[in-house]
Chains A and B, each alone.
Chain A
Amino acid sequence: MNTTTATFAPTLPADWRDFLALTKPRVMSLVVFTGLCGLLAAPGYLHPVLAFTAILCIAMGAGGAAVLNQWWEADIDALMKRTANRPLPGGRMRREDARDFGLFLCFTSVIVMGLAIHPLAAGVLALSIVYYSVIYTMWLKPRTPQNIVIGGGAGAFPPLIGWIAVTGEITLMPVLLFAIIFTWTPPHFWALALFVKTDYAKAGIPMMPVVAGERSTRQQILAYSVILLAVALAPWAIGGVGAIYGAAALALSAAFLVLSARVAFRQSQPGDTMKPEKQLFAFSVLYLFALFAALVADRMVLA
């Protein structure tokens, strides 16, 4: 870690909107949604005030981890067009302020979760924060092209934590929800990496298209989509959910597989618009929202 960003240390106090931006509110919306779905799909009852608190803690934990991620990666972010204007590389905030804000969010979320909801939920929340900010951001992301596969684990925690907040125990169903997001992440992110790869190469992050080549990345996208089809259908296969989820999972995963196949069996040309890759990326976000919505709808109908 060097101190490039410290050279434009601002004299003005940072705007509060920049603190909010550090928590990655758009990523947080998916985190809140999947966490809420895990909570709603779990068997049992959680008082609405406590359910709200549990989701707030998951959101604060994810936000805090995102802040720590940007505190650590400010120099890398400065090199990429997509991230160069974030509060730290943009020179609008002191690095230490971001670190302290991130640590505050992380500790607060875990403590409140433990006191108000359940110690196991707090423990898994703490594990997810350490996993994302230390194991992924600091250790493995700059070292291996499998970084996205590993990072997928971090994003997969929210439904697991939401579920544990209700039941207080880890069973097969929430682990399968974890596995769905874990398997979904590589094709989701590599589709993005295919059309922004020049940026990652410039920042020295070993993204799969840069290290293993485009062809291999496209094949791996397809491979993960096949696994995703199986994993997404597993909750239905073990009888944990009903036909609504089963039908939705089959239709959505089949569409995901078709879009992935289009990406897998082509090569980009010079000046390529990368339309299939962009479509896969856009659909992958819709896929996760729709799949988890179906999970909750299924539970509501069964109950």
Chain B
Amino acid sequence: MTPEEEKEFVRRRKARNVVIALGLFGFVVLFYFITIVRIGGN
């Protein structure tokens, strides 16, 4: 792997990690509110 390819590899991996982190955080927040609503509804 050339230095340019390695740089690109690291960049893509980092971008993917950020997207996955945001997605997971979004689900945590969503499940929190779903729980509150469902408990409140019963």
Contacts and interface: CB of A to CB of B under 8 A. Distances in A.
B24 to A, nearest CB: 12
A12 B34 contact: no
Given A11-B1, A16-B19, A116-B38, A49 B12 contact: no
A275 interface: no
Given A11-B1, A12-B8, A16-B19, A50 B34 contact: yes
Interface in B5-42: 5, 8-9, 12-13, 15-16, 19, 30, 33-34, 36-38, 41
Interface in A7-58: 11-16, 47, 49-50, 52-53, 56
A290 B12 CA distance: 40
Contacts of A47: 37, 41
Contacts of B33: 49
Contact of A15 (B12, B30, B34, B41): B12
Given A11-B1, A12-B5, A16-B19, A49 B13 contact: no
A15 B16 CA distance: 7
Contacts of B9: 12-13
B14 to A, nearest CB: 10
A13 B16 contact: yes
A53 B5 contact: no
A53 B16 CA distance: 24
Contacts of B12: 12-16
A52 B33 CA distance: 11
Contact of A116 (B15, B16, B34): B34
Contacts of B5: 11-12
Nearest to A53: B34
B3 to A, nearest CB: 14
Contacts of A15: 12, 15-16
A47 B39 CA distance: 12
Nearest to B5: A12
Contact of A16 (B8, B15, B37, B38): B15
B26 to A, nearest CB: 9
A6 B1 CA distance: 20
7 contacts: A11-B1, A11-B5, A12-B9, A13-B12, A13-B13, A15-B12, A16-B15
Given A13-B9, A15-B15, A49-B33, 8 more contacts: A12-B8, A13-B12, A14-B12, A16-B16, A49-B36, A49-B37, A50-B34, A50-B37
Interface of A: 11-16, 47, 49-50, 52-53, 56, 116
